[in-house]
Structure 1
Amino acid sequence: MGLSAADLDENGLKIGISPEHFRSVAMPLLFDHLNAQCEGTVAVNREARIVWMSDKYASKIGLADGRSALGREIEAVLPSSRLREVVDSGQPSLLDLMPFGDEHFVVTRIPLRADDGQVVGALGFVLFDRARHLKPLMEKFGRLQARLAETERALLQARRARYTIANFIGTSAVATEIKRQARRAAQLDATVLLHGETGTGKELLAQGIHNLSARADGPFVAVNMAAVPDNLVEAELFGTAPGAFTGADRKARLGKFELANGGTLFLDEIGDLSLPLQVKLLRVLQEQQVEPLGSNQVRPLDVRVIAATHVDLEARVAEGGFRADLFYRLNVLSLRVPALRERREDVRALVEALLDDIAARSGQRPLELADDALALLAEQAWPGNVRQLRNLLERAQLSAERGPLDGAALAALLGTAEPALAVPAAVASPRAVAPVASSEATPDTLPGERVVPLADSLARAERTALLAALRACGGNRRLAASRLGISRAGLYAKLQQHGIAR
């Protein structure tokens, strides 16, 4: 049956047209329509160099005309263009938002193929005039962008170091010397090892070194190695690839090294790191690159490491519990943070600073201490150092009623014997206000007996139990936690609370 005039239109499209003929007729029509309706069109060749650009597109991006862009790589003219990806993959990108300056273009990208199917280039269209139909989507995108920017600012602020070297309170000779050494370390970019008893202020000095260094504008990320379970340390430090292990996130998770990129990573209690992970840490420190758990991709790093420990790492090396090569890599700059008992003349200044901070955080008036109370504090051994001192002052702030806290009241909180000039027991003990009339006097009503608060008795009993467990287990905290029936993290918290060093 022959074709009638109705089977043929003015463009040559007829019923039963061959695919080749259809393409030769339809493609110019499609291109002309898109080019006319869109806000701009650009074409690139196999090397992603511009072979054609509409004058409308050129005007939109600030060029005199389309000819001025010819021969240039697409990214040199449109930095956020993904036409090269379309050329390389042969896959279209039908709808995307491409940033350009302060604007976002709604674009579509399609590959160009030769008769043999080979990709020879790509076309990009700016569908900007269609953006009004995408107004709800664009508004939502704008809100998400604003929330993302705000979250990034908050995270950056959270990862900033709060303290400076000046926050290390003290004017004694040893305090002055450690601050001098810290300032010198800040001027260098080498690895630092801080060693000293628990509660001496090692993290404070680490933050101070960071804030005085050339990395001050970068993040400060701290990790307490003793508080991270052994099976999670690698993921915590180096990150994970999507689905790296059972229960892992579907998305990649950045490790602390990558979070600290461009800044400082503080590794507290480095002596608790297991031997297998010591090998991986050494490699990261030497190569300045990290390979996330479950990934085969290596990512470059620019991180300064400050490590801290309260154990004798050299002794651990001799015992085989710590790698010698890692110790030498960490011990480039070594700073020993003095114990509080080595700088007793700083106690008064520390007490004043701590009481002001405690009051500011609690919303109460600063507690005042009598001279005999200050003298009593200066006489203590402070096994938990400044952290233990702060804990005591917080308890004193809560227990004080009015007026300066004297030595007798402070001695009760310390759990020590009262000073020689203490008030009589009958006045000091609320349970001994009068003799008992009955002949059956009970132990807690004997005249002159001092009653210790229950909380203090329990605290002393808990401290004794902790020390006994550590002695029985040869200082092995993991075993001690198991024997005590508590978690390892719980043991660390209690050791810190009671100011117990290894």
Structure 2
Amino acid sequence: MNSADRLKDYQVTRLQAMRSLFEIVEQSSEGTVIVDREARIVWINERYARRFGLADPAEALGQPVENVIPGSLLREVAHSGQPILLDMLDTSKEPLVVMRLPIRDEHGQLIGAIGFALFDELKNLSPLVSHYLSMQEELASTRSLLQARQARYGFAQFIGTSAPALEVKHRARRGAASEAPILLLGETGTGKELLAHAIHTASPRAHKPFVSLNMAAIPESLLEAEFFGTAPGAFTGASRKARPGKFQIAQGGTLFLDEIGDMPLHLQGKLLRVLQEKEFEPVGSNQILFSDVRLIAATSCDLEAAVRQGSFRADLYYRLNVLPIRLPPLRERPDDLPALCEALLAQLGGGYRLAPDALALLARHGWPGNIRELRNLLERATLLNDGPLLDAAMLAAALGPQPPLAMANPPSPSASGESYRQAMQRFERELLENALASAGNALEAARRLGLSRSTLYRRLAALGISSR
């Protein structure tokens, strides 16, 4: 046999091998599809057609491949001539392991592409598919968790151009650039949580989680587990799986502790250790975990007084008080009322606006609940009003016979030489006593004042007032 005959035999064998290989793969695979240079389907086997909802393979002929097989990359292969040997294709039933190859004519010109779905026969790829599905679920869960833990506000949402408001934003922006703990001080409703969000958003940790925990909202017996998490079966009734705490969830990001003045003494020492040593142990575990968390704390109570009374640790107070930021009450920034009202009414929708006499009325109000109280008032007024213009009479009706309005101008110090602190205590005592008498119970009084129930009870106890 001469060389020409041998070459001819080689070509015949090669063609037969290619035809045989195609038949084997086509018969054993989950599906096969062939497209032309423009990625239009020229052939698809019956199994593949049924998988994508076609009763007859002829229905697919001439259609762009993406119309029949969403997410297909055969167009890319038909244009580039580069094979994609193993890939994952998501379908409505389950993912497929697929192979995509270019097709060339006898002159080597690219004329199309062929794709094989190999999932059902490549049993050795089952672990890969299972791992792929697990990774997809974990990725979706992580994305959902990160989205839920992202800060929702920036400095643009802290509205105000008065001198007190600008000073707050100036100090907060400086604090955002550092890693030092920040202590937000201010009455309830002044925007402490919003500012904490804004500080995180402007910090280098903005792409990491923002986690908040309200000391007054969680029973004392559960606080330690909320902070540090629990080991599997740490106590009776505990889950067999480890439960991460807020320090673990906030890893790399910011942990915001609201109403930190309500933190139990025994937990204060453990928090101090985390701040100093950067490590902690989950409840029921001997494992020491590293902590990389930036701490922002907030309180509406007088922490210095709490230190003197022994209800708050002095060493923790000094550790938290690295950068204190006092948020002024609304009565100290009346110039910001127009902008605040405009922004709050825009959030409520409906095109509402305030008449000049309404703004004058708001400027005379005492605002014990601050911005939270203002928002509640405006929302109540819009619900009670039929038109878009809110005047003083409508706002007065929305306010109702509440003590804060009557006491908008605090009583002046008595002739006996009353100090500022004494005058404030007297004003607060009268305010709380009148609110209790008007509301009839502490829960309703707290709602009207814009205070949390725990804050109201704490102030009542400090002033020696019975909650009846």
1:254 Cα deviation (Å)? 0.5
Q: Deviations over 1:440-496 (max 9, x none)?
A: xxxxxxxxxxxxxxxx9998444697479999987349x999x77xxxxxxxxxxxx
1:306 is paired with a residue whose SS is strand
Match of 1:354 in 2: 344
Match of 1:4 in 2: none
Match of 1:386 in 2: 371
Query: For 2:393, which of 408, 433, 439 is the aligned residue?
Result: 408
Query: For 2:214, which of 224, 231, 234 is the aligned residue?
Result: 224
1:254 correspondence with 2:244? yes
Distance 2:294 2:443 in 1: 40
Distance 1:237 1:131 in 2: 49
TM-score, with length taken from structure 2 = 0.62
Match of 1:275 in 2: 265
| Alignment-mate amino acid for residue 146 of structure 1 | Q
State which drifts further: 392-401 or 135-144: 135-144
1:201 Cα deviation (Å)? 0.5
Distance 2:277 2:369 in 1: 37
1:147 is paired with a residue whose SS is helix
1:176 correspondence with 2:166? yes
State which drifts further: 243-252 or 398-407: 398-407
1:381 Cα deviation (Å)? 0.7
Contact 1:264 1:303 in 2 (8 A): yes
| Alignment-mate amino acid for residue 277 of structure 1 | L
Q: Deviations over 1:396-416 (max 9, x none)?
A: 222221231211111011114
Percent sequence identity over matched residues? 54
Match of 1:343 in 2: 333
1:475 is paired with a residue whose SS is helix
Contact 2:439 2:445 in 1 (8 A): no
**Alignment CA distance shift 1:222-1:457 (3 Å):** closer
TM-score, with length taken from structure 1 = 0.58
Distance 1:255 1:332 in 2: 25
1:368 Cα deviation (Å)? 2.2
1:153 correspondence with 2:138? no
Match of 2:279 in 1: 289
| Alignment-mate amino acid for residue 177 of structure 2 | Q
Q: Deviations over 1:285-343 (max 9, x none)?
A: 11111200000000011111000001110110001010000001111111111100000
1:357 is paired with a residue whose SS is helix
Match of 2:355 in 1: 370
Match of 1:203 in 2: 193
Match of 1:497 in 2: none
Contact 2:189 2:371 in 1 (8 A): yes
State which drifts further: 231-240 or 245-254: 245-254
Distance 1:458 1:373 in 2: 28
Distance 2:141 2:308 in 1: 47
Distance 1:480 1:248 in 2: 40
1:236 correspondence with 2:221? no
Distance 1:386 1:318 in 2: 30
Distance 2:457 2:244 in 1: 40
Query: For 2:380, which of 383, 395, 399 is the aligned residue?
Result: 395
1:154 Cα deviation (Å)? 1.4
1:379 Cα deviation (Å)? 1.4
Distance 1:167 1:305 in 2: 21
1:372 is paired with a residue whose SS is helix
Map 1:4-153; keep pairs closer than 5 Å: 132-133=122-123, 139=129, 141-153=131-143
**Alignment CA distance shift 1:367-1:403 (3 Å):** closer
| Alignment-mate amino acid for residue 347 of structure 1 | L
| Alignment-mate amino acid for residue 238 of structure 1 | F
Distance 1:385 1:396 in 2: 17
Distance 2:322 2:155 in 1: 20
1:142 Cα deviation (Å)? 3.0
Q: Deviations over 1:77-114 (max 9, x none)?
A: xxxxxxxxxxxxxxxxxxxxxxxx999xxxxxxxxxxx
Match of 2:182 in 1: 192
Contact 2:436 2:442 in 1 (8 A): no
**Alignment CA distance shift 1:310-1:288 (3 Å):** same
**Alignment CA distance shift 1:245-1:174 (3 Å):** same
Match of 2:73 in 1: none
Q: Deviations over 1:31-89 (max 9, x none)?
A: xxxxxxxxxxxxxxxxxxxxxxxxxxxxxxxxxxxxxxxxxxxxxxxxxxxxxxxxxxx
| Alignment-mate amino acid for residue 172 of structure 1 | S
Query: For 2:322, which of 332, 335, 345 is the aligned residue?
Result: 332
| Alignment-mate amino acid for residue 311 of structure 1 | C
1:175 is paired with a residue whose SS is helix
Distance 2:238 2:220 in 1: 16
1:344 Cα deviation (Å)? 0.5
Q: Deviations over 1:185-239 (max 9, x none)?
A: 1111101111100000011111111111111111110101100100000000110
Structure 1 unmatched ranges of 5 or more: 1-100, 104-127, 360-364, 418-455, 485-502
Distance 2:182 2:250 in 1: 16
Distance 1:326 1:473 in 2: 20
Match of 1:40 in 2: none
Q: Deviations over 1:407-436 (max 9, x none)?
A: 11110111149xxxxxxxxxxxxxxxxxxx
1:311 is paired with a residue whose SS is coil
Contact 2:436 2:445 in 1 (8 A): no
1:143 Cα deviation (Å)? 3.2
Contact 1:473 1:480 in 2 (8 A): no
Structure 2 unmatched ranges of 5 or more: 1-85, 89-117, 403-434
1:156 is paired with a residue whose SS is helix
**Alignment CA distance shift 1:130-1:311 (3 Å):** same
| Alignment-mate amino acid for residue 408 of structure 1 | A
Contact 2:154 2:198 in 1 (8 A): yes
Contact 2:351 2:388 in 1 (8 A): no
